[in-house]
Structure 1
Amino acid sequence: MSPPPPATPPAARPYRGAVVIGGTHGLGRALALGARERGLLTVAYGRTAASLDDTEDLLPRFLDLCDPHSVRTASVDVPRPCYVLWVAGAFLKKPLVETTEYEVEQLTRLLFTGPVLFLRRLLAGAEGPVHLITIASSSSWKRREQESLYCGLKAAQATFVRNLVPEMIAAHPENRVTLVNPGGLAVPDFHTGLALDFGAMMDPGRVAEIVWDIATAQRQAFTEVQILRSRAPGSEGTPEVSYGARAPQPPEEPAPTAAPHAPHH
């Protein structure tokens, strides 16, 4: 599927900065480094901010999305106008009945309520256009097993952002929103404890390049994009890009269609 056609609104003013919520590891780190390479003054928020070098154009800041106090008090003094990237995430594969109350609470804070509350603070102080880039997941619409909590939170993230678009356009006509649903990324720490073939998964650096290319070319108010990994022999893990939303898959595999019987002679 090709990109959506250009819309009539003018291109937004050049952005001065980038703010990456969850910018210290995995895809978030790759996106933060990509922002710096594009000449943007970049603020990278995360619990492991100390792992990034503090330079003139890359500013690590500690933020624990699971800690309400940290979400309320972390500085939102950022360069504007700016890109705001919501990337923070963690994975959980476990039946719901085996999931502890603490795990439910922490994952919900990390994937949804923490970023929403922090984003609320960032947007409240916006004095110019903001381009929100949200990294949700193909798990927001794909059929999964033992991942109900993770998938539900990713679906909530995607739905929240789609419905935030009218508010952002009302706040500033040049605001933009990009919703990205990526497939499996080669980030071993994200899939802790799982035996996966990371060689057949997507490179986060390559996916970050694709995201930045899409976002910087976007002129319409909202774009949704799927970045899924190829499973074709010889091309495993190659990113495949398509545009538009996907309908949620049913919880059960469709029944196989019986092959037609050969006619009798």
Structure 2
Amino acid sequence: MSPPSSATPPAAGPFQGAAVIGGTHGLGRALALAARERGLRTVVYGRSAAHLPDDEGLLPRFLDLCDPQSVRTVSVDVPQPCYVLWVAGAFLKKPLVETTECEVEQLTRLLFTGPVLFLRRLLARTAGPVHLITIASSSSWKRRERESLYCGLKAAQATLVRNLVPEMRAAHPENRITLINPGGLAVPDFHTGLDLDFGAMMDPVRVAEIVWDIATGQRQAFTEVQILRSRAPGSEGTPEVSYGARAPQPPEEPAPVSPPAHH
């Protein structure tokens, strides 16, 4: 399916604000700027939020997801009704046995426990409606090598928000969740230390536009979307959009089936 697109940003509907958890770099920053372009008062949470340029019109708020005290005390007063975007992330490519205890703890706090505890506070404070846009990863279902911790945390993120739907619907009938599983994005800071061809990866600004077009057009309580990069010659890195969940890939390629012998 071709990605949705619009010549002008679609209206944000009844929503007045956006809160972006991890909106200072990469896809998070692109989503925050696109929210502002849609007329939303946009609060950006992150460790480097204070360094955002003043002319971008974003409302910075310091949040260190790896620091439990920061998660407990940061303000959760946001413009309502509100889009809440869970984007914060970091990548780790390393065998589990070579991963340090500190790396396990920090990545788990950044990708899962920190955002979950923050969301717990924000959702309890927000009257609604709330539209939660969750940026997980195709790594939540794809077969990967030396990425077990990262993939496991992304799968936990996706599973959590799927099962959060009934709770959010019970809290307010107009609450919604959009779960986005993107493939490789051209964000060098995210893939630190890896020798990758970023020209064959997806532009985060284009992916942000697709995410917002999907979210603003969503009418059902829950939508899950895959945004994967094309590998076709001449179209490398072009976003390809499909809807619905994907079954987890097995750890190894299935062995080829030999044809039956003829006697």
**DSSP 3-state at the match of 1:131:** strand
Check whether the contact 1:54–1:60 (CA below 8 A) recurs between aligned residues: no
CA distance in structure 1 between the partners assigned to 2:206 and 2:13 by the alignment: 26
SS of the equivalent of 2:76 reads coil
Alignment deviations for residues 179-212 of structure 1 (CA, whole Å, 9 cap, x no partner)? 0000000000100111000000000000000000
- How far off its partner does 1:58 sit? 1.4
In the other structure, the counterpart of 1:177 is 177
Q: How do residues 94-113 of structure 1 correspond to structure 2 at under 5 angstroms?
A: 94-113=94-113
Partner residue, 1:207: 207
2:2 and 2:240 in contact (8 A); partners too: no
Whether the 8 Å contact between 1:2 and 1:243 is mirrored in structure 2 is: no
In structure 1, C-alpha distance between the alignment counterparts of 2:44 and 2:80, rounded to whole Å: 15
Q: Tell me, in whole angstroms, the C-alpha distance in 1 between the residues paired with 2:24 and 2:209.
A: 17
| Separation (CA, whole Å) in 2 of partners of 1:240 and 1:199 | 16
The whole-number CA distance in structure 1 between the counterparts of 2:160 and 2:20 is: 18
List gaps (5 residues or longer) in structure 2: 4-11
The sequence identity of aligned pairs, in percent, is 87
The secondary structure found in structure 2 opposite 1:178 is strand
Q: What SS does structure 2 have at the residue aligned with 1:188? A: coil
Equivalences for residues 16-31 of structure 1 within 5 A: 16-31=16-31
Tell me what 2:6 maps to.
Answer: none
Question: Hey, what does 1:114 align to over in structure 2?
Answer: 114
Query: What is aligned with 2:126?
Result: 126
TM-score w.r.t. length of structure 2? 0.93
User: 1:218-253 CA deviation, whole Å, 9 max, x = no partner?
Assistant: 000000000000000000000000000000000001
Provide the secondary structure at the position in 1 that maps to 2:189.
helix
Distance in 2 separating the partners of 1:13 and 1:235 = 34
- Where does 1:24-63 land on structure 2 (aligned, <5 Å)? 24-54=24-54, 57-63=57-63
The corresponding residue for 1:66 is: 66
3-state DSSP of counterpart to 2:151: helix
Distance 1:217 1:180 in 2: 14
Give the TM-score normalised by structure 1: 0.92
